[in-house]
Amino acid sequence: MTELNDGKPRRIKNARAYSFTLEEDTSNFGIHEKGGIATQVKEPKLLNFKTLREAIKDPGDFLLSDFSKFDRPPLLHLAFQALDKFVSEMCRFPVAGSEEDAQKLVSIASLINENSGDGRVEDINPKLLRHFAFGARAVLNPMAAMFGGIVGQEVVKACSGKFHPLFQFFYFDSLESLPTANLDPSEFLPLNSRYDAQISVFGSKLQKKLEDANLFVVGSGALGCEFLKNLAMMGVSCGEQGKLTITDDDVIEKSNLSRQFLFRDWNIGQAKSTVAASAAALINPRLKIEALQNRVNPETENVFDDTFWENLTVVVNALDNVNARLYVDQRCLYFQKPLLESGTLGAKCNTQMVIPHLTENYGASRDPPEKQAPMCTVHSFPHNINHCLTWALSEFEGLVEKTPAEVNAYLSNPVEYTNAMMKAGDAQSRETLESVLECLEKEKCETFQDCIMWARLKFEDDFANRVMQLIYSFPEDASTSTGAPFWSAPKRFPHPLQFSTTDPSHLRFVMAASALRAETFGIPVPDWVRNPKMLAEAADKVVVPDFQPREGVRIETDEKSTNLSSASVDDSAIIHELIRKLERCRENLPAGFRMKSIQFEKDDDTNYHMDLIAGLANMRARNYSIPEVDKLKAKFIAGRIIPAIATSTALATGLVCLELYKVLDGGHKLEGYRNTFANLALPLFSMAEPVPPKVIKHQGMSWTVWDRWTLENNPTLRELLQWFTDKGLNAYSISFGSCLLYNCMFSQHRERMDRKVVDLAREVADVEFPAYRRHFDVVAACDDDEGNDVDIPTVSIYFR
């Protein structure tokens, strides 16, 4: 069916997971024999917008963000028309807290609504319009951040034509962020401060709570910078009792500057948290902020101790990895602190509110683990550029980082190193020793021409010989054990490359590979390496041996295999022989010889790192007819850069800060909070109330994951067991960490009844509690009177 290979886009229908139907007559086409690659083509979409005058009269369908407010957008459309009329008549906005102005706005809205014909709103909701009037003149930082993110992305769409624009109107409100209590009009009066706009909406009492809050912001990257800006402008932690602590153990890199806006060129290499804190203090000099450079994990519990967590008001996560999020989540659960969670991925973002006793915790639901490509696919059967780049990064690390490090480890302590390899005696040890021997023997470089020769032969081995060996082992007409074609989708049949000095990509590979090889051996890299003509002349001097296929070469084809190396009965003998050869090589090395291990650094465009990785990946892609990528795209994938843009970051932090109003005000019910998922590319905004925690009930008691049972006054084991008995529970086993403190089956444990539980923990676990620790946790296995196991909360015993 070669007629399909003309490159023309074709419409399809009945698209399923493994098939689709062409919308054309193929009866005159040839027969489909095998294979074929289909590429999805997205057609441009033409949008016809109404004029503003037409859209105001007939707005059409609105983009919804919250389905619990299905009827809200038409009402807000009416409210903004009424506000425009109010401003035209009064030459000002309504005064905050003014019932007179609010009533006038309601009257105007009612009149406009009566003349709206088919677009008439059934219920104009005077209460909502009253709140609308009270806050009409205020500009709130969270709203500005949120809409700034949305509008910023729309500007990019208008300039680039990429992604789908907002169509006509989008209305958003967060009425549930307002205080739950009815406030006296005097609460909204201006105080001649920078927070008067915020006070006009939320009142002076909530403003005081914002200023006296004790916040902990974990992370000072893209999200952290946006949060600090928002919090400083809102006046959070700017009062006498307030304090904002931010921590991040990372330093500023060049790639951070495009989206972490508190940093500048001259800050590269400095601590993120310190620089961000200084920048936030410039935004609001009253901000009481402390910057730390500690990770938040079990190893830093002496820094972030019980007193630290107990004094916090709210925790705001600005992290970029799940493990750190889970640890902070557990700390917030333990100390019952609200956690405001958010994350971004390109144009997508999400927020999650973790509120004590109201919502489930962050760790209660998790995304499935990210799929990893099978090892055999990456090493022998790639079918997309990600596979090629994964292989290229692995090759880079092996060639210039791991192998030189292994060479140095061997030369520093040959006896200890070889003993460890003989003890392991596996295929991986054999391969490591072979790599070390190659560096010190046949592939040892002493001049830059040696490095050129190594790079040229590396090209031949990776992109010609290996492919020809693969084709020799699995010809194009090869079949599987079931008789099916071996080279069937998603496998791509490869083709060996013929090195050519007239191909710039081939020369770039030799340039990068030889330069990094020279660096590992401490050989100066000459300036002429960047001269294509001189580099080609040097490469032409290399004598390349003819390829000879080998019999019995094992190539892994099992996708479930996680290791390409297989153990062999001969490994031990081969390892001993390799060690003897290494000893002979070491004797001929100059005194003090060492190689340089090079760690991957993606942000330096002059260090050849991305040149080599992109070269390895693209040559491999060319072997398998996979579309190649430029160095920038290769850097994005191989450098594992998490796509983060300022627009989605601003949107996420604005939404979180709207929730912060609710947390600090207090009294909001579960239905008042919102979790959000948004995708600015579509665009899509999906808000929903958080999920409540699972409730466990027992004999009139109930508890959730948020509950923690505590015992004061340093109890004995007998007192602890009686405490459980009083709750209708039989504690048959009590442990501390992995150590068993009590089990009813062991008679000797009854002798421990009158001992303090803390003394048992010290003795059995052989630990000493630091001075900052006032309590420890035990795990109790309990059942009820009928022998049914009962899951109970964490039990904390206070001994100080």
Closest CA to 347 of 644, 650, 653, 657: 644
pLDDT digits (tens, 9 = 90+) for 539-572: 999 999 999 988 877 777 766 655 545 445 567 7
Q: Would 679 be classed as within a structural domain?
A: yes
SS3 of 720-765: the string is HHHHHHHCCCEEEEEEECCEEEEECCCHHHHHHCCCEHHHHHHHHH
Are residues 572 and 445 part of one domain?
yes
pLDDT digits (tens, 9 = 90+) for 280-330: 999 999 999 999 999 999 999 999 998 999 999 999 999 988 899 999 999
Do residues 172 and 65 lie in contact, with contact meaning Cβ atoms separated by under 8 Å? yes
- Beta partners for 678? 349, 685
Looking at this protein, which amino acid is placed at residue 499? F
- Domain extent, residue 124, equals 70-137
* Rounded Cα distance, 292 and 301, in Å: 14
Is the predicted pLDDT of residue 35 greater than 80, yes or no?
A: no
Q: Give the count of beta carbons closer than 10 Å to the beta carbon of residue 58.
A: 12
DSSP secondary-structure letter at 2? G
Which token pair is 758?
């803390």
pLDDT band (50, 70, 90) for residue 456: very high
In this predicted structure, what is the pLDDT of residue 564?
Answer: 47
Which token pair is 653?
């932090």
Say which residue the tokens 């049972």 belong to. 709
Say which residue the tokens 């490509």 belong to. 373
Q: What is the DSSP string of 590-653?
A: PTT--PPP----TT-TTSSHHHHHHHHHHHHHHHTTPPP--HHHHHHHHTTPPPB-HHHHHHHH
What CATH number is associated with residue 351? 3.40.50.720
Are residues 705 and 683 part of one domain?
no
The answer to whether the peptide bond before residue 490 is cis (omega within 30 degrees of 0) is yes
* Rounded Cα distance, 376 and 563, in Å: 9
In this predicted structure, what is the pLDDT of residue 512?
Answer: 97
Are residues 704 and 577 part of one domain?
no
pLDDT band (50, 70, 90) for residue 576: confident
- Beta partners for 475? none
In this predicted structure, what is the pLDDT of residue 290?
Answer: 98
Total number of residues shown for the chain = 800
C-alpha torsion 353→359→360→362, nearest 10: 10
Is the predicted pLDDT of residue 606 greater than 80, yes or no?
A: yes
Q: Would 162 be classed as within a structural domain?
A: no
* Rounded Cα distance, 344 and 650, in Å: 10
- Secondary element (H or E) of residue 457: helix 448-460
pLDDT digits (tens, 9 = 90+) for 135-178: 999 999 999 999 999 999 999 999 998 899 999 999 999 999 99
Are residues 583 and 454 part of one domain?
yes
Are residues 292 and 235 part of one domain?
yes
List active site positions.
376
Are residues 208 and 130 part of one domain?
no
Q: Would 160 be classed as within a structural domain?
A: no
Burial class, 516, CB count within 10 angstroms (exposed 0-12 / middle 13-18 / buried 19+)? buried
Which token pair is 60?
């059409």
Do residues 36 and 10 lie in contact, with contact meaning Cβ atoms separated by under 8 Å? no
pLDDT digits (tens, 9 = 90+) for 61-98: 999 999 999 999 999 999 999 999 999 999 999 998 89
Q: Would 24 be classed as within a structural domain?
A: no
Q: N- to C-terminal Cα distance for the chain?
A: 81
pLDDT digits (tens, 9 = 90+) for 472-493: 999 998 988 888 889 888 889 9
User: Which of the residue ranges 323-332, 362-371, 747-756 would you say has the lowest mean pLDDT?
Assistant: 362-371
Parallel, antiparallel, or unpaired: how do β-strands 794-798 and 708-711 relate? parallel
Do residues 588 and 391 lie in contact, with contact meaning Cβ atoms separated by under 8 Å? no
Is the predicted pLDDT of residue 575 greater than 70, yes or no?
A: yes
139: left (phi over 0), alpha (psi -120 to 50) or beta: beta
pLDDT digits (tens, 9 = 90+) for 173-211: 999 999 999 888 889 999 999 999 999 999 999 999 999
What CATH number is associated with residue 787? 3.10.290.60
In this predicted structure, what is the pLDDT of residue 203?
Answer: 94
Q: Would 207 be classed as within a structural domain?
A: yes
Do residues 623 and 491 lie in contact, with contact meaning Cβ atoms separated by under 8 Å? no
What CATH number is associated with residue 459? 1.10.10.2660
Are residues 659 and 612 part of one domain?
no
- Where would I find the H helices in 522-570? 532-540
The percentage of the chain sitting over the pLDDT mark of 90, rounded to a whole number, equals: 70
Parallel, antiparallel, or unpaired: how do β-strands 21-22 and 12-13 relate? antiparallel
DSSP secondary-structure letter at 367? P
* Rounded Cα distance, 714 and 430, in Å: 57
Q: What is the DSSP string of 657-691?
A: HHHHHHHHH----GGG--EEEEETTTTEEEEEPPP
In this predicted structure, what is the pLDDT of residue 546?
Answer: 93
- Where would I find the H helices in 126-248? 126-134, 141-160, 196-202, 204-211, 222-234
pTM for this predicted structure: 0.82
Q: Would 12 be classed as within a structural domain?
A: no
The percentage of the chain sitting over the pLDDT mark of 70, rounded to a whole number, equals: 97
Do residues 344 and 222 lie in contact, with contact meaning Cβ atoms separated by under 8 Å? yes
Burial class, 164, CB count within 10 angstroms (exposed 0-12 / middle 13-18 / buried 19+)? middle
Question: What is the number of alpha carbons within 13 Å of residue 121 lying toward its C-beta?
Answer: 22
In this predicted structure, what is the pLDDT of residue 559?
Answer: 63
Are residues 417 and 556 part of one domain?
yes
Do residues 256 and 221 lie in contact, with contact meaning Cβ atoms separated by under 8 Å? yes
Are residues 399 and 327 part of one domain?
no
DSSP secondary-structure letter at 185? G
Question: What is the number of alpha carbons within 13 Å of residue 19 lying toward its C-beta?
Answer: 2
Burial class, 735, CB count within 10 angstroms (exposed 0-12 / middle 13-18 / buried 19+)? middle
Q: Would 475 be classed as within a structural domain?
A: yes
- Beta partners for 783? 730, 789
Q: Would 394 be classed as within a structural domain?
A: yes
- Beta partners for 317? 218
Do residues 169 and 181 lie in contact, with contact meaning Cβ atoms separated by under 8 Å? no
In this predicted structure, what is the pLDDT of residue 738?
Answer: 87
In this predicted structure, what is the pLDDT of residue 426?
Answer: 73
| Strand blocks (E) in 328-372 | 339-345, 348-354
Is the predicted pLDDT of residue 517 greater than 90, yes or no?
A: yes
Do residues 294 and 263 lie in contact, with contact meaning Cβ atoms separated by under 8 Å? no
Are residues 534 and 396 part of one domain?
yes
Are residues 653 and 570 part of one domain?
no
Residue at which a domain ends, from 625, 651, 672:
625
In this predicted structure, what is the pLDDT of residue 240?
Answer: 94
pLDDT digits (tens, 9 = 90+) for 697-716: 888 889 999 998 999 999 99
Q: What is the mean pLDDT of residues 18-29?
A: 86
Are residues 659 and 616 part of one domain?
no
Closest CA to 448 of 512, 534, 526: 526
Question: What is the number of alpha carbons within 13 Å of residue 670 lying toward its C-beta?
Answer: 10
Q: What is the mean pLDDT of residues 420-439?
A: 86
Number of structural domains the chain divides into: 4
pLDDT digits (tens, 9 = 90+) for 661-691: 999 999 999 999 999 999 999 999 999 999 9
pLDDT digits (tens, 9 = 90+) for 611-645: 999 999 999 999 999 999 999 889 888 877 777 78
Closest CA to 338 of 358, 317, 359, 315: 315
Q: What is the mean pLDDT of residues 419-448?
A: 88
Closest CA to 301 of 331, 276, 332, 278: 331
